[in-house]
Amino acid sequence: MSAITADLISSHQLTHDEYERICRILGREPNLTELGIFSVMWSEHCSYKSSKRHLKKLPTESKHVLQGPGENAGIIDIGQGWAIAFKIESHNHPSFIEPFQGAATGVGGILRDIFTMGARPIAVMDALRFGPLEDPKAGARNRRIVEGVVSGIAHYGNCFGVPTVGGECVFDPSYNGNPLVNVFALGLFRHDEIFYGRASGVGNPVIYVGAKTGRDGIHGASMASAEFTEESKQKRPNVQVGDPFMEKLLLEACLEAMRTGAIVGIQDMGAAGLTCSTCEMGSRAGTGIEIDLMHVPQRETGMTPYEIMLSESQERMLLVAENGREEEVFAVFRKWGLDAVEIGHVTGDGILRVKDHGKVVAEIPNRPLADEAPLYDRPYTTPYRPAPMEGPSFVTAGIQEDLKMLLASGDLCSKRWIWEQYDYMVRTNTLQGPGADAAIVRIKDTGISIAMSLDGNGRYCMLSPREGTKLIVAECCRNLSVAGALPVAATNNLNFGNPERPEIMAQLVESIEGMAEACRFFETPITGGNVSLYNETLGEPIHPSPVVGIVGLMHTGEPAGIAFRNADRAVLLVGGIGDCDAVRFGGTQYASVVVGKVWGLPPALDMDFEKRVQAAAREMVSAGMAESAHDIGQGGLAVALAECCFGLGVGAEITLDSELRPEYLLFHEGPSRVVISTNNEEAIVEVAKRHNVPVVRIGTTWEKTLSISNRGVRLATMEVEALRESWENALPAKLSVS
């Protein structure tokens, strides 16, 4: 009788049909080690078996793209022989179980994805989602998770020596049992320094480098491919433990070893550890790999082949070197005090062959394991939406009080408490960091700078996954444009619930199709990314939460920035006041925070108009016509104006002329609008006219007060400093609740 029981198959999150497929591939039943290997490689986290059919709809090519999806990171050409590698990855489930290490190893993993391509990491950003800090039931846990996640990101990035230059942080009840930690990293290299994760050259040695293997992280990929239950929430052994100082050594050693010319392929040991790196490198090259686990450096005694192959211990890489040049590689790693051991060699039979002290313990064809995992065309119906189409009538305390409430809310308040823990200036290339619409890092001695932005909006996507995702792409591109950068390429992180539920699968499909349409229109192809499914706890899904990271190119110079700089400057609204009705108002921050309900649809997007507004804003900023520039996003016009006042304490007298209800006028979140301050109004108007974009003068900057009127009626007058203090102190106050 086989030792592989139905319960054992189920515990490895494999279906009966998948097990039968494994038996057909092997021509026999698997042993326990082989079952574990198939389990992690066929997990949702590694195989994308529910999403791959739909991901093919995304645009992936352009004149800038050198490497699209399929490698450890995407690569684009930025000119003058330089290229950048970038990608975003999730570490959601581990960050719920063990917030500090879950977030820290999320940073470590994405950094390895970058330098395994040969690039030196120069920037990190993070997109975070938590439950409300003041939630009466889950607030204490949410506060603990926030503090742990932020500390973990800061610890790893600061110790490694890479600046964390920006990101976003959102609070919503849908993340109470399932926080999201998405980390983006970007690295720089020359075209001739690019490396790939391929095990080429039969007979070439396979070399293990970096940290020793332990029992941490075993089945981490499988754990990240299932809903949380009361039992799974306690799986601390599935969370890896990181060492950023060792990763820094590993970075320097890998880059130096690459320069010897002795390395022909390299891949980090991330999800699924040694299993993933061996079979994927072999599959990409059409080769096989044979290893003997007796040579694998281990920090614990008595580890079984199953444990060694599935461990996700951090700070490890797998290299394939040119036969006869092993010593050149070993010498580099000895210099940096790291293990470097030949554990096997490349074969020509396409088989992953694992031995333990000479005895074969696993023998599996690479392609069925890595590239030919099961693909599902899961059924989907109407996207799940727990919000009504019609909203309530509402009476507010007044515009001034509403604005104060919004600025102190979790999503819109200052995130200084978070980013002041990050070293965002290390390496001295950061031109614009946290708190800006887009982060900017310069490439020294080239005249080129890279702008980057992360955006997501689960509330919009819950109301309409397709339209919400298009709005995310548009805002991300707009953030880059107001910095003066041309958006050129994107990466994505698709965070959704259980795809086996047709209404959740519908969210995923609609979101991908919306992203494909928008990325194609804005000419920002997807170069890679991550899919994180099963983000549910006890059957409660998160909001559909795609996160988009877009990079842009610009000439190095002083950014305009958000803040009003001087008094007596014209305040202009490029793109016009916009329009709004009750249905389109229901997805706003105002609806969520002030009214306390969410309903209707997200704001309407005209992509052609949006693209023209972006082009106009980009030209205005690049030409130095704008002293400041800030896009209008969540919170609407009033919140954007307040944020413009906060930077340097310069206020504004705003006089509007609109028939819209005051709440709609000041707090609707219609896209395609940019607030600009300038002493060259005529030039701004001329540029807007050339792009066929309306521009409205809405006021003048002045000292210390933000005053807003509409058609002669004063709606609000507030001291900037008092408003800023409330905005800046809100998050620390929420975290300090006992």
CA distance 717 to 698: 16
Intra-chain end-to-end CA distance of the chain, in Å: 57
How high is the pLDDT of residue 219? Answer: 64
How high is the pLDDT of residue 251? Answer: 97
Element (H, E) at 678: strand 674-678
- Over the Cα atoms of the chain, what is R_g? 26
Strand ranges inside 374-523, DSSP E: 430-432, 439-443, 448-456, 486-495
How high is the pLDDT of residue 236? Answer: 44
Count Cβ atoms within 10 A of the Cβ of residue 172 and give its class: 0-12 exposed, 13-18 middle, 19 or more buried.
Answer: buried
CA dihedral 246, 251, 255, 260 (to 10 degrees): 20
CA distance 576 to 175: 35
Helix axes 607-622, 465-481, angle to 10 degrees: 20
How high is the pLDDT of residue 238? Answer: 59
How high is the pLDDT of residue 350? Answer: 96
Residues of the chain with pLDDT under 70: 1-2, 219-238, 738
How high is the pLDDT of residue 381? Answer: 96
How high is the pLDDT of residue 233? Answer: 47
Strand ranges inside 412-459, DSSP E: 430-432, 439-443, 448-456
Active site residue 91: yes
Partners of 490 in the β-ladder: 526, 550
Q: Choosing from 91, 93, 345, 543, which is the catalytic residue?
A: 91
How high is the pLDDT of residue 2? Answer: 56
CB-based contact 406:387 (threshold 8 Å): no
| Residues whose CB is less than 8 angstroms from the CB of residue 176 and which lie 6 or more positions away in sequence, other chains included | 131, 132, 135, 138, 142, 537, 540
> What DSSP state is assigned to residue 439?
E
Q: Choosing from 45, 54, 64, 691, which is the catalytic residue?
A: 45
